[in-house]
Structure 1
Amino acid sequence: MPTRTRRFTTWRTLATAALAALLAAASLLLTPPRADAAPRRSEPVYSYADAIREAVWVDTGYDGDGDGRADRVAVDVVRPREPAARGRKVPVIMDASPYYSCCGRGNESQKKTYDAAGRVTGMPLFYDNYFVPRGYAFVGVDLAGTNRSDGCVDVGGPSDIRSAKAVVDWLNGRARAYTTRTGAERAKATWTNGRTGMIGKSWDGTIANGVAATGVEGLKTIVPISAISTWYDYYFSQGAPLYDSGPDWLSDYVDSPDARARCAAVQQRLVDGAPRTGDRTPLWTERDYVRAAGRVKASVFLVHGMQDLNVRMQHVGPWWDALGKAGVERKIWLSQTGHVDPFDYRRGDWVETLHRWFDHELLGYDNGIDREPVADVERHPDQWETSRSWPPRGTDAAVLRPAADGVLGLRGGRGTEAFTDDPALGETDWAAGADTPSPEKASFVTGPLTRDLRLAGASRLTVTARSSTPTAHLTAVLADLGPDTIRDYGAAGEGITTLTDRTCWGANTAADSACYRETAARTADVDFTVVSRGWADLGHRGGKDHPLVPGRAYTISLPLAATDHVVPAGHRLALIIAGTDRDLIDPPADRPTVTVDLARTSVRVPFVGGTSAFAKATSAPRVASIAPPPREGVTAPPIAQRIPAA
């Protein structure tokens, strides 16, 4: 925790203070501390300045670049000197990343720095500064093909995952490592007990998911932050393409210059295995960690921004549910931010919670964190609410149906609604005009709610529609219509503003500061909030793209991303169905007019209290309302980024 000036209250009298001191002394006399009492918290008792800093190269057993020898990945270690001198072994916190040299980590884009002997002197982020003095080792792994490692980046595939898994194996005595990249002198991890926790944001957290899905022994916990759970869903949404690029672009972005010169074959495999048709190929199957959730033995502390439009909330619901079915110990934080690390929106609570989590999972301390509420959800900027489970008990899906008069309710109606795809518009344009009929969308709205209504989990739209052209993309959006103040996820910083003042979180050296710039919530006043969204290619069936027969009816089931949102009393809930969602999916080859069959269209929405809660919240007679004038706020989502940003 940062050192801050304490302010003492003046209402406490000297007599009260004296009495408290006497009672405390009596308590110590009556109940002496047990000599065998289990520790509940690690303390910074070791020297960070004197920490051992070393580099090793771990043999992955995999020849990703095809040069005839197994790739070695570079591993930089910072560990306390004192435990090793006393014969004590320490656990490991590990961040495996492709970003240590190309792009940097964290809000300040820090990169690794080295001394003349090649030992790491500056490690990005606060993990080593904070945890090494508390008896942990920190290990920063350069993924294969990046920085000082051999091999090639294959974007979540065997090379990426094996390069990190091999390090866990080495820490547990099952893999070989060497003191140099090409030499024969062995390096053994005799200083660790092998208990490893992986952490990281974006691609780093994705690697943690992938390594956990191998079931590797010794990996005790992972903390994936804004992480991918299946790579297909990063590049496609049920056949609808994203980003106008594939994994070959991303691989080339982070490959070291040396790797670019020797990884042409890997690049071509990425191109061939990821056609822009959206077909589900074997390349995507081997990069799907959700299907392997049954192998996960590590606990999972999952952190994500509910307005993350880079690594979207589609990566949370299926992974969370699969882990639950596998009986994995889980914890979750959901913020209102975009692609932002919790260190930059809830810093003090984050460091404290992470500290207690690692103490419990890696040191075995009984500090009670496993008995606390599972979920923390940011309800308003810097205002958090907890739930004992997530989604909360009593959450059940209500089937809502659209009607031809624009009403969203339990009954629905017959008829059709048509819209023409306009790639120049997106979800915020549609939500802003949800009450007004327009040619580019079909929207359906409840009346003003008579009580708060909480959505928690993933929704699913079943829609029957006809397209006028051989290609058509669909977007489904759930929106809360009503004024609010939210984190401005559409602006630079995606919900935070970086300040100039710094606070320090751990020990410092001349080459590695633990002091980081503070942040504050960047907010916006809005008249609507997009709660959840999903996308699909109407012709995507059976994992493949099929041309549509114009005029023929097709029925698809379109998942909407998990969320946790309270629609307040007085607000209204809207379902919007449209075509291309500007900046969030790529447009189809044609500009179709899509006709929706309302009688065969419905959306399953998970409400706390289920159908009964929705019925009660919408029981008042529908009253025509006039949309308030728009206020300055989030008018468009951020342009989709091509990479999982640092």
Structure 2
Amino acid sequence: MPNRVRGNRFTCRSLVVAASAALMSLTLAPTAAQGASVRESRPVYSYDNAIRESVWVDTRLDGDGDGRTDRVAVDIVRPREAAEQGRRIPVIMDASPYYACCGRGNESQRKTYDANGRPVQFPLYYDNYFVPRGYAFVAVDLAGTNRSDGCVDVGGRSDIQSAKAVVDWLNGRARGYTTRTGAVRARAGWSTGATGMIGKSYDGTIANGVAATGVRGLRTIVPIGAISSWYDYYFAKGAPLYDSGPEWLSDYVESPEARARCGAVQQRLVDEAPRSGDLTGLWAERDYVPDAGRVTASVFAVHGMQDLNVRTKHFGQWWDALAAQGVDRKIWLSQTGHVDPFDFRRGEWVSTLHRWFDHYLLGYDNGIDREPMADIERAPDRWSTDRVWPPRSTTATSLRPGSGTAAGVGTLTLRPARPGTTETFTDDPRLDETDWAAAVDTPTPAKAGFITEPLTRELRLSGSARVTVTATASTSSAHLSAVLVDLGPDTIRDYAASGEGITTLAERTCWGASTAGDSSCFKETRARTTTVGHTIFSRGWADLGNHASDAHGRPLTPGRPYTISLDLHASDHVVPAGHRLALIVAGTDRDLIDPPPSVPRLTLDLARTAAHLPIVGGTPAFVRATAGSPEALGPRESRLGGVAEPRPIRPIPGGSIR
């Protein structure tokens, strides 16, 4: 049947485009075993012969105040054959502050250059694997780092514009130059404009921030262990999480040249980020969650559920905001700490990422958008999937603490305690959550524990939780911690050890093509495990002085009760039958929050304290798991919107955010 060009509104140009797409489809053909509608990009281009070049893109900002707009260095590797054929290609981009100071990946790879300044080594495997498959890889030095102008502002306007300007340049909306100071223009006529951003930690954070601008051309982001709000990296509702602020991280990653000229920016990071924990305008600028409605890119998030550096609150609040906006999304949750999936599930990760980029950047109908939304590690190297995450039956179920037969060892049920029931503890900054959990069945002065009976069926918690506490302090300041604990033996990834759940081996495997200066072969890893008697799987902190406002704290009146909610970090954990679920409330969680100026004694009003937990199956599931009675259901549950024993190692801002 002949084409009815006019009826189908085909033009000569559209026919040429269609023919080009068909030719590309044949060049990058699927295997015979795949269905006709499933396509996969293939390594048909030479990596050794690829074009390697540097461009400096104008950010249109003058962050260092030198009177000229800043240019950021953009190192590019792309297939030469596609360029010679006039074929435009999509871009995979990793924008990072770490390419010179600290390195990327498990082997801390840095960028290297030849004698003429042309890029030789691109860290990680993205270039080796994807360039032969018809992608360009672009590695951006954030402003103030490596070969870029400007200053590091730790997630602020300059950081985000550093990468956004490159997306604009790839789409013909910004100016690029062949040198850092010259006037010769560089254009990205070789690019389709379709861009996918990827990166771990700070790099993934930049991807979140750029997506939140709604920039056109950004088709997908893959944030790995990424921050969604910089305030929540340094504070938890007023409680300080580190003994330094963003100025330390800025100084850590800046180039020596930038450090000499960026004193004013550094001082702003001190002056506008007070250690009081007040939510200033500086933090509002670095909170990407309120702008989730601008996100047009799909999101493939990856996070370690035991990441005590970039804690899981970051992906939880970002995920919920994206879900409310209907953003296309996918998630992997591992048992590791701050670890890249290339180092805990390598083969499956590379295959999945390949199909994800093929779909969102090349437009291939390979079915990945119809696969289960979530992959969750249930035990070391044992994974399950969920069609939707959290599961649709997940509901916020209120569990209530009650007094037990011994002081500080109470119950956790659906029934509220009688008015006037209290538990008391004294903050002990020498102890942490692992100390509390180990002594949960013992009256100890530094914590209050509340425990279910042994479960008769498994109980799954999936998503973000909240604990509302009414407490009276003996001093004018007090910090609070709340943790959820699975009491029972298990074998888990040893997230608190060096490697945060992985052991790096000497053997290497190769993922793509190599050159003399850029190998595609990386050290293998295996799960590092430990046997435990209990597992802490969610935690949260707050300064009681922030009871009236998330934005500002105030001194407490000793002897007066205050009510505050602690956000417990998102997780997905199954408490097996025979185990018990525990809620522990205490003061300073050593090495995870800083202690208050004084050591308070705190009294909990149990009748006005509750844990609102995301239980799959809701209250009926809890009743079945505890063999309870339906008559004791308590207050009506509400549906969620939208959808260890090891001693934690102390995270270091900047150093371990990598």
TM-score normalised by structure 1 residue count: 0.92
TM superposition shift of 1:408: 0.3
Q: Distance in 1 between matches of 2:56 and 2:92?
A: 18
Aligned to 1:112: 111
Matches for 1:98-497 after TM superposition, within 5 Å:
98-405=97-404, 406-414=410-418, 415-497=421-503
Aligned to 2:653: 642
Q: Distance in 2 between matches of 1:229 and 1:398?
A: 26
C-alpha contact 1:429 1:635 (8 A) present in aligned 2: no
Aligned to 1:624: none
TM superposition shift of 1:412: 3.0
Q: Which residue of 505, 509, 512 corresponds with 1:506?
A: 512
The AA in structure 2 aligned to 1:247 is P
Aligned to 1:539: 545
Query: Match of 1:55, SS?
Result: strand
Q: Distance in 1 between matches of 2:651 and 2:93?
A: 29
C-alpha contact 2:467 2:612 (8 A) present in aligned 1: yes
Per-residue CA deviation, residues 275-299 of structure 1 (Å, 9 max, x unaligned), is 0000000000010000110000000
Query: Match of 1:556, SS?
Result: strand
Per-residue CA deviation, residues 44-100 of structure 1 (Å, 9 max, x unaligned), is 000000000000000000011111110000000000001111111000000000000
TM superposition shift of 1:620: 6.2
TM superposition shift of 1:404: 1.1
Q: Distance in 1 between matches of 2:622 and 2:226?
A: 32
Q: Which residue of 557, 565, 575 corresponds with 2:565?
A: 557
TM superposition shift of 1:477: 0.3
Query: Match of 1:544, SS?
Result: coil
Instruction: Say if 2:621 is the partner of 1:609.
Output: no
Aligned to 1:79: 78
Aligned to 1:548: 556
C-alpha contact 1:456 1:606 (8 A) present in aligned 2: yes
Aligned to 2:606: 598
The AA in structure 2 aligned to 1:235 is Y
Per-residue CA deviation, residues 247-294 of structure 1 (Å, 9 max, x unaligned), is 001000000000000000000111111000000000000100001100
Query: Match of 1:485, SS?
Result: strand
TM superposition shift of 1:634: 4.0
Matches for 1:34-45 after TM superposition, within 5 Å:
40-45=39-44
C-alpha contact 2:45 2:132 (8 A) present in aligned 1: yes
Q: Distance in 2 between matches of 1:69 and 1:634?
A: 54
C-alpha contact 2:227 2:314 (8 A) present in aligned 1: yes
TM superposition shift of 1:640: 2.1
Matches for 1:522-533 after TM superposition, within 5 Å:
522-533=528-539
Query: Match of 1:407, SS?
Result: strand
Q: Distance in 2 between matches of 1:38 and 1:419?
A: 63
TM superposition shift of 1:499: 0.4
Q: Distance in 1 between matches of 2:509 and 2:316?
A: 34
Q: Distance in 2 between matches of 1:402 and 1:230?
A: 31
C-alpha contact 2:536 2:645 (8 A) present in aligned 1: no
C-alpha contact 1:450 1:620 (8 A) present in aligned 2: no
C-alpha contact 1:446 1:618 (8 A) present in aligned 2: yes
Q: Distance in 1 between matches of 2:363 and 2:348?
A: 21
The AA in structure 1 aligned to 2:322 is L
Q: Distance in 2 between matches of 1:59 and 1:639?
A: 39
Aligned to 2:6: none
Q: Distance in 2 between matches of 1:241 and 1:496?
A: 29
Aligned to 2:10: none
Query: Match of 2:321, SS?
Result: helix
Q: Distance in 1 between matches of 2:36 and 2:461?
A: 43
Q: Residues 557 and 634 from structure 1, CA distance in 2 versus in 1: closer, same or farther, beyond 3 angstroms?
A: closer
Query: Match of 1:76, SS?
Result: strand
Per-residue CA deviation, residues 372-398 of structure 1 (Å, 9 max, x unaligned), is 000000000000000000001101011
C-alpha contact 1:490 1:634 (8 A) present in aligned 2: no
Q: Distance in 1 between matches of 2:252 and 2:242?
A: 14
TM superposition shift of 1:39: 5.8
Aligned to 2:640: none
Q: Which residue of 586, 589, 608 corresponds with 1:581?
A: 589
C-alpha contact 2:495 2:646 (8 A) present in aligned 1: no
C-alpha contact 2:480 2:542 (8 A) present in aligned 1: yes
Q: Which residue of 606, 627, 633 corresponds with 1:619?
A: 627
Per-residue CA deviation, residues 212-238 of structure 1 (Å, 9 max, x unaligned), is 000000000000000000000000000
Q: Distance in 1 between matches of 2:324 and 2:276?
A: 32
The AA in structure 2 aligned to 1:536 is A
Query: Match of 1:163, SS?
Result: helix
Aligned to 2:580: 572
C-alpha contact 2:305 2:312 (8 A) present in aligned 1: yes
C-alpha contact 1:524 1:634 (8 A) present in aligned 2: no
Q: Distance in 2 between matches of 1:413 and 1:362?
A: 55
TM-score normalised by structure 2 residue count: 0.90
Query: Match of 2:233, SS?
Result: helix
The AA in structure 2 aligned to 1:636 is R
Q: Percent identity?
A: 72
In the TM superposition, structure 1's runs of 4+ consecutive aligned residues that sit over 4 Å from their partners are 36-39
Per-residue CA deviation, residues 117-166 of structure 1 (Å, 9 max, x unaligned), is 11110000000000000000000000000000000000000000001000
Aligned to 1:22: none
The AA in structure 1 aligned to 2:374 is A
Q: Distance in 1 between matches of 2:280 and 2:650?
A: 28
Q: Distance in 1 between matches of 2:396 and 2:537?
A: 16
Query: Match of 1:545, SS?
Result: coil
The AA in structure 1 aligned to 2:652 is Q
C-alpha contact 2:342 2:349 (8 A) present in aligned 1: yes
Q: Distance in 2 between matches of 1:617 and 1:163?
A: 51
TM superposition shift of 1:327: 1.2
The AA in structure 1 aligned to 2:581 is L
C-alpha contact 1:91 1:196 (8 A) present in aligned 2: yes
C-alpha contact 1:464 1:600 (8 A) present in aligned 2: yes
**CA RMSD, Structure 1 to Structure 2 (Å):** 1.1
Q: Residues 38 and 118 from structure 1, CA distance in 2 versus in 1: closer, same or farther, beyond 3 angstroms?
A: farther
The AA in structure 2 aligned to 1:645 is I
